């Protein structure tokens, strides 16, 4: 009976092995080549590991693996880069994986009770570069008896997993600065002021400033400008008449600042009857506000004539009114400058030049009237011819070079011709036989009987050098007893001397003589200064300062003459009453 039961048991066991591939009570797979190795390996299985390489990326490499021969043992998995025989990573299958799909028939349920078959490693730095790598995963093969597999077909003892190899990478990228950066990140970049993006290390080119002319007229040129390199910086601009425009260029007119608007107010000197053309240059700056040499110049800007052309200068009028041995009087007006005093020159021929060989005198008109008083040096026995030149003025009172010359003005002889020989006779005007033609007294004068006019003794003057001036014949003579032939004359002269002459005061005194001498000196100096002032006025050639200086000289000289004449009159009036 026992033999029958044992036989039945072995029969069932054998049947179980043949039909299910398992030994009852053991969760061990039996190798597919069971029966080929004989009794020695009836219970030693060498089923290869089974699993998947789920993925390989720049962050991690992972999958799962198990061995049907030893379900509960964690396998060792090696990761290789391409054909390299040295693993780049080694890990154990120790992660729970309940999502493992069913395998083939030979392994359909061997992992049903063991989920710790997953593995994951961080992707090694060695493969995180700019290349694509083939990643291989090999799981360690373990026999059912727990020994390493030494199957000749797998000399390394490892089996490559399903879905292995897989491509990994590239994980890095080479950016514009020459360095490699993570592929998942954007390359470092530089954004230039014009909005363009460039790799790190790129030097943005300098941008030329913008320049837009808004308006231009005779008042101003208005424009706007912006520099992308330094939008907030105040920049300089230059205005020139020609290209190129710059601080050291010959056509430079003006300079100013722009931020972002600019205005150049046209000066009065540019507002005339001629059109003008200008160029505006705006200097570029870098991000620090320093000049970068990249400038922008506008197109030509033409401003039309801002004023009507001035009328041509007009010659002054000149009309001679009267002429005599005393003066030549004329009228003159200049329509270009009606209110101005006009300088005139007197010469002996039509070509009158100040200080020239035929120049005689100069002066100025007053309220449109000119008077040239003929000097004593011109009053002689000869006739003289004169020409008067009136200098034209512009609207500012400056000589414009358009002059008017009068016709010839003839002045007859102003004095009788001197006698050819001396004429003897009585030359005393109080004598009865006075001869006005006589030049030499021959002692033949006759007089009426003497009329004696006694003088009070208090008015008799002692003999002095000043009394001697008037008469040497009447010196110390007693008027009550005249004994000389010309007693009448003596009386008259004595009375005149007694009443009018004084050592200090009176018409013959020292004060009167000094005043007379000073008046002569001042008069001569004033005439000279008037001539000098006239010369400077004509020679001013339009210079306002020179013309003004000349007018002041003439004015002050005239004032000096008036003061001298007035002073002489006042002093003589006072001293004659002392």
CATH architecture, domain 212-303: Sandwich (2.60)
Which residues make beta-bridge pairs with 246? none
- pLDDT of 318 > 90? The answer is yes
Q: Secondary structure of the chain: what % helix, strand, coil (to 5)?
A: 20, 25, 50
Q: Which of 302, 229, 293, 318 is nearest to 266 (CA)?
A: 302
The CA-CA-CA angle for residues 419, 421, 427, to 5°, reads 75
Higher per-residue confidence, 563 vs 129: 129
Q: Full-prediction pTM beyond 0.95?
A: no
For position 367, what pLDDT does the model report? Answer: 87
The answer on pLDDT for 363 being more than 90 is yes
pLDDT bracket for residue 477 (50, 70, 90): very low
The pLDDT tens digits of the residues spanning 497-533 come to 444 555 666 666 777 777 778 878 888 888 888 888 8
The DSSP H or E segment spanning 492 is helix 487-500
For 547, phi then psi, to 5°, come to -65, -45
What are the boundaries of each domain within the chain? 2-26, 50-168, 212-303, 317-411, 510-575
Predicted local confidence at residue 303, as pLDDT: 92
Residue 37 above 90 pLDDT?
Answer: no
For residue 328, what pLDDT is reported? 94
Burial 461-473 (b: 16+ CB within 10 A, else e): beeeebbeeebee
Q: What is the DSSP string of 167-216?
A: EE---EEE-TTS-EEETTSPPPEEE-TTS-EEETTPPPPPPPPP-EEEEE
Lowest mean pLDDT among 83-87, 231-235, 311-315, 507-511: 507-511
pLDDT surpasses 50 at 315:
yes
Q: Is the pLDDT of residue 383 over 50?
A: yes
Mean pLDDT across 17-45: 40
- Which range has the worst mean pLDDT, 301-305, 491-495, 536-540, 550-554? 491-495
Bridge-based pairing of strands 158-160 and 343-347 is unpaired
Query: Which of 136, 93, 92 shows the shortest CA–CA distance to 111?
Result: 93
Token pair 């998947």 is at which residue?
Answer: 52
User: Using CA atoms, how far apart are residues 259 and 289, in angstroms rounded to an integer?
Assistant: 12
Q: What is the pLDDT of residues 158-206, one digit of tens each?
A: 788 888 899 998 998 888 777 888 888 878 888 887 778 877 777 888 8
- Percent of all residues in the chain with a pLDDT value above 90, rounded to a whole number: 25
pLDDT band at 439 (very low <50, low <70, confident <90, very high): confident
What does each C-alpha distance from 271 to 238, 239, 254, 367, 544 come to in angstroms? 19, 16, 15, 34, 20
| Third-level CATH fold of 50-168 | Immunoglobulin-like (2.60.40)
- Mean pLDDT across 344-367: 90
Q: Which residue has the tokens 């033999």?
A: 3
Q: Which residues of 221-238 are buried (b: 16+ CB within 10 A; e: fewer)?
A: bbbebbbbbbeebebbbb
In angstroms, the CA 331 to CA 60 distance is: 118
Average pLDDT, the chain: 77
What's the alpha-carbon Rg for the chain, to the nearest Å? 68
Q: Give the pLDDT mean for 109-118.
A: 62
pLDDT of residue 541 exceeding 70? yes
Using the predicted structure, report yes or no on whether residue 387 has a pLDDT greater than 90: yes
Q: Which CATH number fits domain 317-411: 3.90.245, 1.10.1740, 3.90.1200, 2.60.40?
A: 2.60.40
The reported pLDDT for the residue numbered 15 is 43
Same fold, 50-168 and 317-411: yes
d(CA 233, CA 294): 15
The mean pLDDT of 555-575, rounded to a whole number, is 79
Could you tell me how many helices (H) and strands (E) the chain has, helices first?
5, 31
How far does Cα 499 stand from its chain's mean position? 83
**Does 231 or 449 have the greater pLDDT score?**
231
Residue-wise DSSP of 104-125: -GGGSSTTTT--EEEEEEEPPG
- Amino acid 548: pLDDT: 85
Q: How far is CA 482 from CA 432, 454, 486, in A?
A: 19, 11, 9
Token pair belonging to 323:
């002429």
What is residue 450's predicted lDDT score, i.e. its pLDDT? 53
pLDDT of the residue at 278? 95
**Closest by Cα among 330, 320, 418, 325 to 378:** 325
Is 60 exceeded by the pLDDT of residue 454? Answer: no
What φ, ψ does residue 39 adopt, rounded to 5°? -70, -20
Question: By the 8 A CB rule, do 469 and 510 touch?
Answer: no
Q: Is the dihedral of CA 92, 96, 102, 108 positive or negative?
A: positive
The count of other CB atoms within 10 Å of the CB of residue 339 is: 9
SS3 263: strand
Average pLDDT over residues 16-39: 38
3-state secondary structure of 386: strand
106, pLDDT greater than 90: no
Please tell me whether residue 523 adopts helix, strand or coil conformation: helix
Residue 25: its pLDDT value, please? 37
């Amino acid at each position: 009976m026992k033999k029958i039961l044992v036989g039945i048991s072995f029969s069932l066991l054998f049947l179980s092995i043949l039909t299910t591939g398992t030994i009852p009570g053991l969760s061990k797979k039996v190798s597919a080549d069971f029966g080929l190795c004989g009794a020695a390996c009836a219970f030693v299985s060498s089923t290869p590991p089974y699993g998947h390489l789920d993925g390989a990326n720049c962050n991690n490499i992972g999958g799962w693996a198990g061995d049907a021969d030893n379900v509960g043992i964690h396998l060792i998995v090696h990761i290789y880069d391409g054909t390299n025989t040295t693993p780049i990573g080694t890990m154990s299958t120790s992660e729970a994986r309940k999502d493992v799909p069913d395998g083939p028939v030979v392994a359909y349920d061997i992992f049903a009770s063991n989920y710790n078959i997953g593995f994951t490693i961080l992707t090694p730095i060695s493969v995180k570069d700019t290349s694509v790598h083939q990643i291989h995963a090999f799981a360690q093969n373990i026999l059912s008896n727990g020994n390493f597999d030494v199957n000749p077909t797998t000399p390394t003892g490892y089996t490559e997993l399903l879905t292995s190899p897989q491509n990994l990478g590239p994980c890095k990228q080479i950016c514009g600065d020459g360095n490699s950066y993570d592929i998942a990140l954007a390359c470092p970049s530089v954004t230039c002021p014009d909005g363009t993006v460039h790799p790190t290390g790129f030097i943005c080119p300098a941008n030329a400033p913008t320049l837009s002319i808004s308006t231009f007229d005779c008042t101003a040129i208005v424009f706007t400008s912006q520099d992308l390199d330094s939008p907030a910086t105040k920049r300089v601009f230059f205005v020139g008449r020609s290209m190129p425009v710059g601080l050291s260029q010959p056509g430079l007119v003006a300079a100013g600042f722009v931020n972002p608007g600019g205005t150049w107010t046209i000066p009065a000197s540019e507002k005339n009857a001629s059109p003008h053309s200008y160029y505006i240059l705006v200097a570029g700056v870098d991000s620090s506000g320093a000049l970068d040499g990249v400038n922008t110049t506008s197109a030509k800007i033409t401003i039309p004539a801002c004023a009507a052309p001035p009328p041509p200068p007009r010659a002054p009028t000149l009309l001679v009114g009267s002429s005599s041995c005393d003066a030549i009087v004329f009228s003159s007006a200049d329509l270009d400058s009606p209110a101005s005093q006009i300088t005139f020159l007197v010469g002996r021929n039509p070509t009158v030049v100040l200080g020239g060989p035929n120049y005689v005198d100069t002066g100025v008109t007053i309220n449109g009237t000119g008077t040239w008083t003929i000097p004593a040096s011109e009053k002689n026995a000869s006739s003289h011819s004169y020409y008067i030149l009136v200098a034209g003025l512009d609207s500012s009172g400056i000589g414009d070079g358009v002059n008017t010359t009068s016709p010839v003005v003839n002045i007859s002889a102003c004095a009788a011709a001197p006698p050819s020989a001396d004429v003897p006779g009585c030359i005393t005007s109080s004598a009865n036989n006075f001869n006005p033609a006589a030049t030499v007294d021959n002692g033949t004068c006759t007089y009426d009987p003497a009329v004696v006019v006694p003088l009070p003794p208090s008015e008799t003057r002692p003999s002095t050098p000043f009394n001697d001036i008037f008469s040497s014949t009447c010196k110390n003579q007693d008027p009550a007893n005249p004994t000389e032939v010309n007693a009448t004359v003596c009386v008259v002269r004595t009375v005149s001397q007694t009443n009018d002459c004084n050592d200090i005061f009176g018409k013959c005194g020292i004060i009167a003589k000094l005043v007379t001498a000073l008046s002569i000196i001042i008069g001569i100096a004033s005439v000279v200064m008037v001539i000098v002032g006239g010369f400077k006025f004509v020679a001013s050639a339009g210079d306002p300062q020179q013309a003004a200086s000349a007018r002041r000289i003439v004015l002050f000289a005239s004032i000096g003459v008036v003061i001298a004449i007035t002073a002489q009159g006042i002093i003589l009036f006072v001293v004659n009453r002392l």
